Amino acid sequence: MEDMLFYDRMQFAFTITFHYLFPQLTMGLSLMIVYFKWKFLRTKTETYNDAAKFWMKIFALNFAMGVVTGIPMEFQFGTNWAKFSELTGGIIGQTLAMEGMFSFFLESSFLGLFIFGEKLLGHKLHFVTGFLVFLGSWASGFLIIATHSWMQHPVGYEILENGKFVLTNFSALFTNEWLWPSYLHNQAASLVTASFVVAAIGSFYILNNKHSEFGKLFVKTGVIFGLIASILVAFPTGDMMAKNVVKHQPVTFAAMEGIFETEDGGSEIILIGQPDMKDKKLDNKIAVPNILSFLTYQKWDAEIKGLNEFDEDVHPTNVPGLYYAYHIMVGLGTIFIGLMLAAIVQLFRKKLYKTKWILWSLMFMLPFPYIANTTGWYTAELGRQPWLVYNLLRTSAGASPTVSAGNTLFTLLGFIGLYLLLGLLFLMIAGKIINKGPEITTH
């Protein structure tokens, strides 16, 4: 039983981590493609249209990877988490079914038209199909975050005698306090990924002295979108989320921030430190006094409950994992803002394309938004453990009762093998598309 739960959790964690590498780019990128296409319609400069078409190729490849790795996500609710599906399906089934009906059809129908239909449709309609693809991908994110938010902060439900959750208020699912901050935070974060990818490839072109015209356009667009998005991730959306966590999951908040003891006169913010689970304290810490209290409650001396005040039974399952995931996310987010700010300053001084260190940094920063997004997602998920539905349903009570550990291990290994292959192929093809660069339309 223990083994099985472990493999089930590893399988879900592995498949969702891999899956989310793709939609986080496509959601942000779809907005940027719409922007390029819109600029083309306004300025009639072919470069913008060629840029839109180039990114569409990257988008299509990522979208295909997102779709094929997304189908297992839905299936796993039934295959590996049958008990959870049985008990909560009447509620989260709503948002998941809506995702299929409202967003996947929209995306897949119009992506085909967007890829194949430029000549058939003309530029204006082509723009519209691109916009609908964007709308579909953002709707998809919204409905997934709505599902996730219900698990973090259940609303509009009633629990029957047999343990089943039934829906009593449909609109509550969408007015959930947890939902909007998470959604906006997540979308801003996916725009960060897309901007960094666009800027990184632009820098690559400039530094490599090829496709320089596109290189400049990509770097410029990337850093403008990037600065706005990285600021939005921190404020107001990140701030709103932190306030939600402290309000509804105070024990999670304490673990995230690394606060073991409640301190009189306000809590310090931990910049660096290592959770020591044996002695229930933080080792080697560097901290700034009272800042956390201020950020959380706008009062320098507000009390923040430490982890040690809560019953160990409700502590997050993996406190160090949660603490590190959160601090990596916040740390990277701060670096993103700094780098984008420096790039924007150089852009206004008209020196950006010659400032080598920024271009190199932008290029090498490419994997880090992915890491920040992943650790952000881990923060949310590890923060909820040991619960599937916060405070109501334990993870250990959600696994499939009849599937044995051997089967789960077998499929876990299968997924690892298959996804390694997919990842390799993806990098190969993406590298090829990037190396070839945008195709220039000639008249």
394 binds other proteins per the rule CB under 8 A: no
Tell me the CA distances in angstroms from 397 to 94, 312, 394, one per residue in order.
22, 19, 5
Q: Cβ(133)–Cβ(30) under 8 Å?
A: yes
- Cα distance between residue 186 and residue 237, in whole Å: 9
Instruction: Give the tokens for residue 121.
Output: 């449709």
Q: Please identify, among the stretches 106-114, 272-280, 293-301, 340-348, the one whose residues bind other proteins according to the rule CB under 8 A.
A: 106-114
Question: Under the criterion CB under 8 A, does residue 83 sit at the interface with other proteins?
Answer: yes
Among 344, 355, 422, 437, binds other proteins (CB under 8 A): 422
Counting contacts by CB under 8 A, is residue 429 touching other proteins?
Answer: yes
Residue 105 makes contact with other proteins by CB under 8 A: yes
Identified binder of other proteins from the candidate list 44, 351, 394, 432, rule CB under 8 A: 432
Q: How far is CA 207 from CA 181, 264, 345, 353, 356, in A?
A: 38, 54, 19, 9, 8
Name which of 121 and 302 has its Cβ closer to other proteins.
121
The dihedral built from the CA positions of residue 220, 226, 227 and 228, taken in this order, carries a sign that is positive
CB 123 within 8 A of CB 129: no
**Closer to other proteins by Cβ: residue 234 or 405:** 405
Pair of tokens at residue 153: 């902060």
Q: Which span sits near other proteins by CB under 8 A: 159-167, 309-317, 336-344, 385-393?
A: 159-167
Per rule CB under 8 A, is residue 296 in the interface with other proteins? Answer: no
* Alpha carbon distance 235, 220 (integer Å): 23
Interaction between residue 99 and other proteins (CB under 8 A): yes
Would you count residue 411 as binding other proteins (CB under 8 A)? Answer: yes
Helix axes 2-20, 367-384, angle to 10 degrees: 140
CA 321 to chain CA centroid, Å, is 18
Enumerate residues 61-80 that contact other proteins by CB under 8 A: 61, 64, 67-72, 74-75, 77-80
- 30 near other proteins, judged by CB under 8 A: no
Site membership for other proteins, residue 133 (CB under 8 A) = no
d(CA 59, CA 306): 44
Residues that bind other proteins (CB under 8 A): 61, 64, 67-72, 74-75, 77-80, 82-86, 88-91, 93-94, 96-102, 104-106, 108-113, 115-121, 164, 166-168, 170, 400-404, 407, 411, 414, 418, 422, 425, 428-429, 432
